[in-house]
Structure 1
């Protein structure tokens, strides 16, 4: 999972920031789909900052930044009819609607381009921004004004309206652009459109044949309509191009029929699409459903099938990741799959290579994968390639089964595979160069310490020079190696001064960034933010982690009994009760802080920092802002998911279990042990009527 997350993070930067993806859309979706499947099968392993919960990538430094008034989210993906049926079923369950209640959806082609938000005030276009990371995008107003499809002025529009849509390039225009010889050669129309819109010189954008389809909206001073379809029709009336294939479906069968019809027309459209987007038509129901962290609950992207190709597997290489995971990668004879040249593919793990799944059952009818084999490459939804099958009939004579290493190829330490784990991991820790360098790269990454001037190249160079072995060394660089740095090739007085100033600036660090930067397995951005919000300060967080890892009063005779005793401790219970923090994450967190070497490393780092406490979310004044709420039993007029979403929107924390820190327990019919524990602890218990009065008051 850590390997998949790292691959997606790199791909997000390549795609959204650099406009130079190295993975196809199918491969990218395949990775996310695999990760999502693991999360569904093993929810306790799901990281709180899973790539399925992130949007886009950070905006480029070359543009001014625009903070979106309403986030520009991504879409949940589906790859089969049963996924669409499950989507419709989830909506009915969330809204507590019977199976025969009418439910209408729109179906529209999913354009493969670049998302753009256009802000109009009193009819005038005043700002255009890319999606960026969903919260902050790039100001490309001057470039957007050069696109003929985008109106400069609206008549009859609300005083404030943000129109959202997709910038794309038609196939014919793309071919003419590449054939003109006056510009760079682009790999595909999506890259050409994204690269053209994100030019620092708007005159370059003007020469590029960009087009625009509107499909939605952000901030509004007045509603456009009561339905999605009505609002899109209103956008068309205001002068925006909208996709003529957009239709309304009254059933699952009609949704799938629309998808099949659009797929059949795909080759004749003259522009790239990679699926169909379904949206609940009733805007009032959309509002009730709301959003997850990165996707709306009321929309789904139904992707087209992946494309396949056969090629030769030249060799299998083993890469060592930040967590020590040994990941096999297939190096392929380059082949074009879906318009993208593929030369590498994931092989997942040693079981997959051997023709087995994680439970030992045969896959590919037991056919293993060997160097020299002809393999079928699969690009799901159009991004990270994987090997779907192998052709034994074309296997070269003398090809031997692949022997997965039992020692780390980077440091020679034992590479062990824990029972129940599908991944083999190096035991070298910080002694392993691959892990140490990767952890340092993570530490200085954009969403961790984000030290200006200290990126991947510098980390590798400083490691090779022996100046940097652990995070604390960054903050003693001025004391220990300033002279060495000034004498190094490529460094001058100004660049050294800038780097050291940037390091000093990061001594004061928010708690959430620090927790994320430690690089503890399963503790990503979202989990780090949740922990920081819950504990507020480093001492409180450390006390809870240390308390959860303390020896029990009675020495347990074996590891299983000892783990049970640890899990029964109040600190462990508090950590596990935090909504979004599961037992697997708690175990990894406690284990990391219990390792003497790791703890010493953390302590040396903390001594160098000024850790800023987390004051919690800024929230409008509500009756439950800042309180911790637990829902138990059956809610009859609001589903549990809707109740949780409403509580969080009002500034409350939702926990999964009752403790002395719980403020309110909402108990419906059938409430059992949680209601009893609340009574024993003197926690306020209310029924659904009281909760609804609070939630709607």
Structure 2
């Protein structure tokens, strides 16, 4: 090993680099290196610190978790009280607050409000001395909280050491620790699979996670922190207004809310309220209102405080998202995929801004977990446009009239058996993400409910778009047994329709003509129409554009599918299982027999011809300890699949930097005859599809955006960034991660940050989401 001349300096430089990447990732949401590079830097730092432990410090990014579990929490006295805010619930009450502010500041004094989402989490105080985190505390009663330093250190969005310069010698930062919705769903999915107690909502999950005596458990929870103010401060200067202080905090390493806005008056506050209320369902985290603060600090000081809280700030609360009502009954509905879903019929209650009378109960396991009974008092939760859910039972209100819920063992529509299906989800890399269950009727198209829903979906606007074929008509035809599969639509005669209620001969002729006109349709519509689980409109478009024909999609192996944007192993598994099913194959063959086909079949997309590399193929097998880096080393060493499959354990040991476990995993995998045969079949499919690395590369020079560089930033409501990138690349564009003078265009979604600012500074063309969608539509992508 090369001698390290100054290990302390090297460790400090590595820490500085890692901290900078942490800041760009967690505070700015603008990572500049891939995860693999970040992991490599962390490992390098860990190795150096292990070799030179005398240089390990508490603020090192390697030291986020590691302390022994606590026996209990110590009390913390806040240097300055963490006061609560008064609330308003409507425009008049907000106007009254504004009037009080104007009276106290004096007639004609100009001021503005800083508006921030009121995150639904747990308030914390973070104390920094000389830029180092020395204490984290809960709000408690406002004067006294609990010392949770060992837990806050595990949260990636809380800097262990401040970055930049100019921060005060002593600085108390206040913020909200919360759990994003996706993380909360993942946590509860994992708990449900392990038969553990579920959390009621993300707020409770965040608060409970902060009170874990073992920090290692907290570290496993998907917590984030967003700062909203400062408390005590010594030895430094802060900006003269609240919004400026938040910008300083962001510069020192903290995350601030991208939805923050500064407005001129109360009318601006109300417009912001309407905007954020519309945005609320799409935000990745829960909010329960908005906080308005007079922006100028000197004006805040002039307004002062009441005994309870500041006179210069107010919380504008949104409608409640949880209420108590009564479970009146439970119905069981059968969906298009056969899923049997219990639906709770509730005494109507106003929650989340609407009157709710129905809520999902998911499945039998959820009913048993909740311990719910008919006539129980229940807590109903509704967040934005999310389907209302029953969060828990109020057991202390259970009466003698409570009735046990009987989940059917047989389909309530067709009488077929209801089976319990285990659902395992995976990330794109194959990592197990969570386990769930579903209860499904095995009757398929024999089940009238599944048949009706399948045909309704098949004919819907985003699918085959058969004009005039509504739900009631389909249901009538199914009941009359004139439809037993989607292909039967094309066998309908005018006489079949004319016999139905509400049909005359002319309307029957028109519908038969409309159905006949939709035999040849765009491939993505046909794929979507099939109703493959987890394959929505956008995924159908990806499949159609990349593979070009239904026959290729039908036989595509999952290792090919996972190379496509937004298709992980779970979705790939659903696609391959759908087409492998004998019943589905018969339905597809029947559709082909009546002339249903794609009107736009073509070759494999240009960027995928010759585009799959040997390392990608090796990594796709999901062999233990074989990631992208190891796969690249193995591919470079052996060159061909045949040579790899024939390799002995000694041959594999010769691969540079390949671990013993990785070599053993590869050897064991290819010792299995079935695995070798499958690898051969997969490579042959790559050759047949012209996707193999030895095939001629596709030509992209004539594509409309060829030679242009795009950058995508912010949140796109219609699609993820990966899919937006894939669509741009399909048009020939290069998609970069940063804005420069060579950038041709920036696609800016909501909450776009520094990339948008830089684009405006450089005079780069900026395209909002509506313009971007119009561009895609122009080229039919």
Place the TM-score, normalised by the shorter chain, in its bin: 0.3 to 0.5
Greater Cα radius of gyration, structure 1 or 2: 2
The two structures have a TM-score, normalised by structure 2, of 0.33
Give the structure, 1 or 2, with the largest relative contact order (CA under 8 Å, sep 6 or more).
1
